[in-house]
Structure 1
Amino acid sequence: MQPAAAGTEQSQLPVEVDPREPLARLRQDLRTGSEGLSRREADRRAAVYGPNEVRREHRGQLRRELARQLVHPLALLLWGAAGLAFVAGTRVLGVAIVAVILLNAGFALLQERQAERAVEALADYLPAHSRVIRDGGEQTVESTQLVPGDLILLDEGDKVPADVRLVEGAVEIDLSMLTGESAPVERAAGQAAADAPTLREPNLAFSGTTCVEGQAKAIVFATGRHTELGRIAALSQRTRREGSPLELQVKRVAWLIAAVAVGMGAVFLLIGTASGLPVRDALTFAIGLLVANVPEGLLPTITLALALGVRLLARQGAVVKRLSAVETLGSTHVICTDKTGTLTRNRMRLRTVWTPLGGERGVEEPDPGDDVGRLAEAMAECTTVTRGEDGAFTGDPTEVALVEGAACLDRDPDLGARDLRRRALFRFDPRLRMMSVVSDLRDTPTVSVKGAPEALLPRLGCSADADAVRAAADAMAQEGLRVLAVATRSPATAEVPARREDVECDLELLGLVGLHDPPRPEVAGAVRRCHQAGLRVHVVTGDNGATAAAVAREVGIGDPELSVLADAEAVGEQRLDELLASPAEVVFARASPETKLRVADALRDQGQIVAMTGDGVNDAPALHRAHIGVAMGLSGTDVAREAATMVLTDDNFATIVKAVESGRRVYDNIRKFILYIFAHAVPEIVPFLVYALSGGTIPLPLTVLQILAIDLGTETLPALALGREPAEPGLMTRPPRRSGRGSGVITRDMLFRAWAFLGLLSTALVMGAYFYVLWRAGWTPGASTAEGSGLHQDYLTATTATFAGIVMCQVGTAMAARTDRASLREVGWASNPLLLAGIVFELAFTAVLIWVPPFQSVFGTAPLPWDVVALLLTFPVLVWGADELRRSLRRRRETVRGSRAAGAADQE
Structure 2
Amino acid sequence: MTLTHRTAPAPVAGPDDVGDPREPVTRLLRDLRSTAQGLSATEAARRLVVLGPNELARAARRPWWRSVLTQVVHPLALLLWVAAALAAVSGSTELAVAIVVVIVLNAGFAFWQETQAERAVEALQGYLPDEVWAVRGGARVRVAARELVRGDLIALEEGQRVPADVRLVGGALEVDTAALTGESYPVARSADAVDDAGRLLDSPVLVFSGSAVTAGTATGLAFATGAHTELGRIAALSQRVDAEPSPLERQVRRVAWLIAAVAVGAGLAFLPIGLLAGLTLTTAAVFAIGLLVANVPEGLLPTITLALAAGVRQMASRGAVVKRLSAVETLGSTTTICTDKTGTLTANRMTVAAVALRVEVAPGSPVAATLAQVLVRCSTADLADGDGDPTELALLAWARGSGVELAPAVRDSDRWVLHRFEARFRRMTTVDRVAGRVVVSVKGAPEQVLPRCAALLGADGTATALDAAARDAVERDVERLAGVGLRVLAVARRDLGPVDPAAVPPDRDTTDRDLCLVGLVGLEDPPRDGVAGAVAGCHTAGIRIHVVTGDHGSTAAEIARRVGIRADRVVDGELVDAMSEGELRELLTADDELVFARATPETKLRIADALHRSGEVVAMTGDGVNDAPALRRADIGVAMGASGTDVAREAATVVLTDDNFATLTAGVEEGRRVFDNVRKFVLYIFAHAVPEVVPFLVFALSGGAIPLPLTVLQILAIDLGTETLPALALGREPAEPGLMHRPPRPRSEGVITGRMLWRAWGVLGLLSAVLVLGVFAAVLLHAGWRPGDAVGPGTALHDVYRQATTATFAAIVACQIGTAFAARTEWASLRAVGLATNPLLLWGIAGELLFTGVLVYWPLAQDVFGTAALPGWVLLVLLPFPVLVWGVDELLRARRRRR
Q: Same fold judged by TM-score > 0.5? A: yes
1:615 pairs, out of 610, 620, 623, with 623
**Residue 775 to residue 447, structure 1, CA distance change in 2 (3 Å):** same
- Aligned pairs for 1:589-628 (under 5 A) are 600=608, 603-604=611-612, 606-628=614-636
Distance 1:621 1:290, change over 3 A: closer
Percent of residue pairs bearing the same amino acid type: 54
Cα deviations across residues 573-604 of structure 1 (Å, max 9, x unaligned)? 59976775454545667878787666545544
| 2:284 paired with 1:291 | no
The structure 2 residue matched to 1:749, chosen from 755, 775, 780, is 755
- The answer on whether the counterparts of 2:690 and 2:769 sit within 8 Å (CA) in structure 1 is yes
C-alpha distance in 2 between matches for 1:424 and 1:515: 17
Instruction: Please list, as runs of the form range in 1=range in 2, the aligned pairs for 1:24-35 lying within 5 A after superposition.
Output: none
2:688 to 680, 693, 700: 680
**SS of equivalent to 1:660:** helix
1:683–1:763 Cα contact (<8 Å) kept: yes
Q: Verify the 8 A CA contact 1:483 1:512 in the aligned structure 2.
A: no
Structure 1 counterpart of 2:262: 260
Q: Do the aligned partners of 2:330 and 2:636 also contact (CA within 8 Å) in 1?
A: yes
RMSD: 5.3
The 8 Å contact of residues 634 and 650 in structure 1, kept in 2 or not, is answered as yes
Residues 679 and 755, structure 1, Cα contact 8 Å, conserved in 2: yes
Deviation of residue 543 (structure 1)? 7.8
Cross-structure match for 1:484: 488
Distance 2:524 2:703 in 1: 84
User: Paired residue for 2:739?
Assistant: 731
State the alpha-carbon separation in 1 of the partners of residues 734 and 110 from structure 2. 21
Distance 1:278 1:640 in 2: 63
Displacement, 1:330?
0.8
Among residues 861, 864, 870, which one is paired with 2:870 in the alignment? 864
How big is the shift at 1:456?
A: 11
The aligned runs of 1:414-429 (5 Å cut-off) are 421=418, 425-426=422-423
Provide Cα deviations, 1:503-522, integer angstroms capped at 9, x if missing partner: xxxx9998642347776564
Pair 1:132–1:84, CA change in 2 (3 A): closer
Q: Is the 8 A contact 2:377 2:441 kept in 1?
A: no
**Partner of residue 643, structure 2:** 635
The one-letter amino acid of 1:405's match is W
Shift of 1:288: 0.9
Tell me the equivalent position of 1:832. 838
Contact kept in structure 2, 1:617 and 1:637, CA below 8 Å: yes
**In the TM superposition, what is the alpha-carbon distance from 1:729 to its structure 2 partner?**
2.2
Determine helix, strand or coil for the equivalent of 2:367: coil
Q: Residue 620 of structure 2 contacts residue 638 of structure 2 at CA under 8 Å; is this kept in 1?
A: yes
1:115 aligns with 2:114: yes
Counterpart check, 1:720 vs 2:719: no
Deviation digits for residues 86-110 of structure 1 (CA, Å, limit 9, x no counterpart): 4444xxx422332332243134313
Q: Deviations over 1:738-758 (max 9, x none)?
A: 12x3x2223333333322232
Q: Distance in 1 between matches of 2:213 and 2:562?
A: 37
1:330 to 329, 332, 340: 332
Does the 8 Å CA contact 1:301/1:719 hold for their aligned counterparts? yes
Q: Which moved more, 1:341-350 or 1:658-667?
A: 341-350
Q: Post-superposition shift, 1:565?
A: 4.0
Equivalent residue, structure 2, for 1:387: 382
After TM superposition, the structure 1 = structure 2 runs for residues 236-315 of structure 1, keeping only pairs within 5 Å, are 245-315=247-317
Deviation at 1:495, TM superposition (A): 12
Q: What one-letter code is carried by the residue in structure 2 that aligns with 1:628?
A: I
Instruction: Supply the AA of the counterpart residue of 2:669.
Output: E
Paired amino acid for 1:114: Q
Correspondent of 1:350 among 349, 352, 372 = 352
AA aligned opposite 1:683: P
The match for 1:403 among 388, 396, 399 is 396
For 2:543 and 2:391, locate their aligned partners in 1 and report how far apart those are by CA, in whole Å: 30
List per-residue Cα deviations over 1:370-391 (Å, max 9, x = no partner).
xx9689858985x8x7437xx2
Residue 76 of structure 2 contacts residue 260 of structure 2 at CA under 8 Å; is this kept in 1? yes
Q: Determine the C-alpha separation between the residues in 1 that align with 2:416 and 2:788.
A: 101
How many pairs align? 735
**TM-score, with structure 2 as normaliser:** 0.69
For residues 66 and 890 of structure 2, the distance between their equivalents in structure 1, rounded to whole angstroms, comes to: 45
In the aligned structure 2, how far is the partner of 1:264 from the partner of 1:520?
57
Decide whether the 8 Å contact of 2:128 with 2:210 is kept in 1: no
- The change in CA–CA distance for 1:347 and 1:862 in structure 2 (over 3 A counts) is same
Q: In the alignment, which residue of structure 2 is the partner of 1:653?
A: 661
Q: 1:409 to 1:474 in 2, by over 3 A?
A: farther
Larger RCO (CA under 8 A, 6+ residues apart): 2
For 2:243 and 2:337, how far apart are their aligned partners in 1? Answer: 28
SS in 2 for 1:387: coil
Deviates more, 1:585-594 or 1:723-732: 585-594
Secondary structure, aligned partner of 2:366 = coil
CA distance in 1, matches of 2:283, 2:296: 20
What is the correspondence of 1:503-582 to structure 2 with a 5 Å cutoff?
512-515=520-523, 522-539=530-547, 557=564, 562-565=566-569, 568=572, 580-582=588-590
- CA pair 544-104 structure 1, distance change in 2 beyond 3 A: closer
Offset, 1:395 = 5.7
Note the alpha carbon deviations across 1:646-675, whole angstroms, 9 max, x for none. 332222222111111111122222222222
Deviations 1:490-533 (A, max 9, x none): 9xxx999xxxxxxxxxx999864234777656444433322321
- 1:14 aligns with none
Question: For residue 278 of structure 2, what is the amino acid of its counterpart?
Answer: G
Corresponding residue of 1:472: 477
Stretch of structure 1 that moved more, 325-334 or 113-122 = 113-122
Distance in 2, matches of 1:541 and 1:509, equals: 35
> TM-score scaled by structure 1?
0.68
- Whole-Å Cα distance in 1 between the matches of residues 416 and 766 of structure 2? 80
* More displaced 10-residue stretch of structure 1: 539-548 or 702-711: 539-548
Cα distance change, pair 528–705 in 1 and its aligned pair in 2 (3 A): same
Can you give the 5+ residue segments of structure 2 that lack an aligned partner in the other structure? 1-38, 46-56, 132-141, 166-179, 182-207, 219-241, 433-437, 455-466, 495-505, 509-514
Residues 781 and 471 from structure 1, CA distance in 2 versus in 1: closer, same or farther, beyond 3 angstroms?
farther
Are the counterparts in 1 of residues 417 and 431 from structure 2 also a CA contact under 8 Å?
no
Cα drift, residue 708 of structure 1:
1.6
Match of residue 827 from structure 2: 821
Shift of 1:678: 2.0
Secondary structure in structure 2 of the residue aligned to 1:335: strand
CA contact (8 A) 1:729 1:826 kept: no
Out of 801, 812, 817, the residue aligned to residue 806 of structure 1 is: 812
Give the residue type in structure 1 aligned to 2:393: V
For residue 681 of structure 1, report the CA deviation from its aligned partner: 1.4
State whether residues 310 and 319 of structure 1, in contact with CA within 8 Å, keep that contact through their aligned partners in structure 2.
Answer: yes
- Residue of structure 2 equivalent to 1:901: none
- Which residue is 2:20 aligned to? none
Show the 5 A alignment for 1:203-214.
Answer: 211-212=210-211
Matched, 1:763 2:762: no
**Is contact 1:620-1:639 (8 Å) kept?**
yes
Alpha-carbon distance change, 870 to 56 in structure 1, aligned in 2, over 3 angstroms: farther
Q: Evaluate the alpha carbon distance shift between residue 406 and residue 616 of structure 1 in structure 2; reply closer, same or farther with a 3 A threshold.
A: farther
- Return the alpha-carbon distance in structure 2 between the equivalents of residues 86 and 352 of structure 1: 80
How has the CA–CA distance of structure 1 residues 489 and 351 changed in structure 2, closer, same or farther, with 3 Å as cutoff? Answer: closer
Q: Tell me the CA shift for residue 766 of structure 1.
A: 1.0
Residue identity opposite 2:862 in structure 1: Q
Amino acid of the structure 2 residue aligned with 1:629: G
Secondary structure at the counterpart of residue 365 of structure 2: coil
User: Aligned in 2, Cα 1:637/1:705: closer, same or farther, shift over 3 Å?
Assistant: closer
Counterpart residue identity of residue 754, structure 1: A
Matched, 1:97 2:96: yes
**For residues 71 and 544 of structure 1, what CA distance do their matches in structure 2 show?**
50
TM-superposed CA distance for 1:852, in Å, is 2.4
Range that drifts further, 773-782 or 243-252: 243-252
